Amino acid sequence: MASSSYMTCNRATTARLSILFLLLVGLFLFRDLWLPDNSSYKPRPPPLQATSPDTKHAGTLQVHNSTATKSAASFSQACASVPGADKVLVLLKTGATELYQKLPTHVVTTFTCVPHYMVFSDLAQTFAGLPIHDAVAPVSSHFREHHGDFELYRKLQQYQREGQDMSNLKGDGGWNLDKWKFLPMLFKAFERAEKLDGIEWFFLMEADTSVSWTNLLQWLKTMDPKEPHYLGAQNVIGDTTFAHGGSGVILSRRTADLMLQRRDSMGKSAYDEKWEEETSTSCCGDEIIARAFKDVGVELTPAWPLIQGETVNSIDWTENHWCTPAITWHHVSPLEVDLLFQFQNDWVEAHGWTEPYLYHHVFDHFIARHVAVNRTKWNNISKDQKFISASLAQAEDRDFYALEEYERASVESAEACAEACGRKGEWECLQWMFTPGRCYLGKDLRFGRSDEREGGEHWVSGWVRERLERFEERFAGWFWFDWG
């Protein structure tokens, strides 16, 4: 009985303590959450501004001292109403397997500046109210239903019916299908332009292309859309010189009119049948449209390096680019599309819409501060001279024992590799990269990328800062630029 009374008393005591504890907690919460203190009257902090990411993650473009003061909405309104903006129809080509990874960034950046644009893919869809045109649909059923290039297309149709995730179909099939989009896409855009008021230019881009809207509009003002223009970064396949699609392609209204006239005079069915047969034996759609333009007497006007296919990380920063306006970049990530758009926003805020930014402005903003120090687990794409130890050398590599003594020593340490670069001539080596047994030297400046997450060997990279400074000094005070 005594034991039972003790347990009852103990439980009562425990209950009272629990109630007291809960009351104390309640009082503290009431004080902290409801009673005012000094902090309650502090002004709300401003929204966080973009800052520079840790340089160890600098495998992509880096945000650098953003100075934009206008809201994104006000900038978008301004850039969409810049003189000449409504005279350009932008065509963005993508694929259903990558649509949701790459298109959203363009919708909230690039397209906010573009009054007229169309998105083409290999599947008819709607993205946030935006119609996605099926560029492949106009191809005859003979090819769509039986040709091997359309295997992915038929699979996409099935996945759409079943409500499956199209991104699971990524693979080589997208490349085979891609070439069939070009001509149908162009004619759909040409026909659309006839219903719009004042379209003078067509700009073709891909989902991994970044375009400077201010530089593009300023460049187009230097040309006559009534002349037959076909411009881009030149490539050659066989006897065809063509504009690389991913770098961006520019067509004048006159070129579009010539194409429409040829198709109408030949008969649309006959014309399409002819070029479908041509496409079936070609590797690439951008090569096919070059042949179609040549068929109406319009040859490519090379526009490199205004239009080019590198990224900010992979481009060679040389005098070929330095004083040229930068219009396009290719193989860029959605993050890089956004950062380049922000850079354009800041530039226009400071300089307006009538002064183009040049490649060296991009370099100063994104790259300059990162090449002041050596970087570990980093590949800076040095490739002009390669010193490889005898144990690692392949048949095509230079004979290790025929190298100079300091060149042989360069494969032993990063310091020795840097010394080998320094012993080369002023314009013979601007940068180097080392991994045990290998020392590579580069005469052109490139930034490169992190190899931290890659398997195999990791590199240490460096730049000869004194030589880079002398390179930059050669152009100090230059205000001249070249539209090509």
Region 29-41: mean pLDDT is: 34
CA distances from 107 to 35, 93, 253, 327 (A): 45, 13, 25, 19
Q: Of the candidates 415, 417, 466, which has an alpha carbon nearest to the alpha carbon of residue 441?
A: 417
By residue count, the chain amounts to 484
Region 378-403: mean pLDDT is: 95
Region 433-444: mean pLDDT is: 98
| Model confidence, pTM | 0.83
Region 53-73: mean pLDDT is: 46
Residue with the bigger pLDDT between 174 and 441: it is 441
pLDDT of residue 145: 92
Contact 446, 381 (CB under 8 A): yes
CA angle 72, 204, 299 (to 5 degrees): 145
Q: Which CATH number fits domain 72-358: 3.90.550, 1.20.120, 3.30.70, 3.10.590?
A: 3.90.550
pLDDT > 90: what percent of the chain? 76
| pLDDT tens string 254-288 | 999 999 999 999 999 999 999 999 999 999 999 99
CATH topology of domain 369-473: Hepatocyte Growth Factor (3.50.4)
pLDDT of residue 468: 92
pLDDT of residue 61: 55
Q: What are phi and psi of 173, to 5 degrees?
A: -60, -30
pLDDT > 70: what percent of the chain? 83
Region 66-71: mean pLDDT is: 46
pLDDT of residue 481: 74
Q: CA–CA separation, 51 vs 57, rounded Å?
A: 13
Residue 64 has pLDDT above 50, yes or no: no
pLDDT of residue 394: 92
Q: CA–CA separation, 50 vs 365, rounded Å?
A: 14
Residue 21 has pLDDT above 70, yes or no: no
**Banded model confidence at residue 14, pLDDT cuts 50, 70, 90:** very low
Residue with the bigger pLDDT between 388 and 454: it is 388
pLDDT of residue 73: 63
pLDDT of residue 449: 97
pLDDT of residue 62: 47
Residue 47 has pLDDT above 80, yes or no: no
**Banded model confidence at residue 182, pLDDT cuts 50, 70, 90:** very high
Domain boundaries, the chain: 72-358, 369-473
Residue 19 has pLDDT above 50, yes or no: no
Region 203-232: mean pLDDT is: 98
pLDDT of residue 456: 86
State the chain's mean pLDDT as an integer: 87
**Banded model confidence at residue 484, pLDDT cuts 50, 70, 90:** low
Region 334-338: mean pLDDT is: 98
Q: What are phi and psi of 454, to 5 degrees?
A: -90, 145
Residue 161 has pLDDT above 90, yes or no: yes
Residue with the bigger pLDDT between 441 and 25: it is 441
| pLDDT tens string 362-389 | 999 999 999 999 999 999 999 999 999 9
Contact 194, 125 (CB under 8 A): no
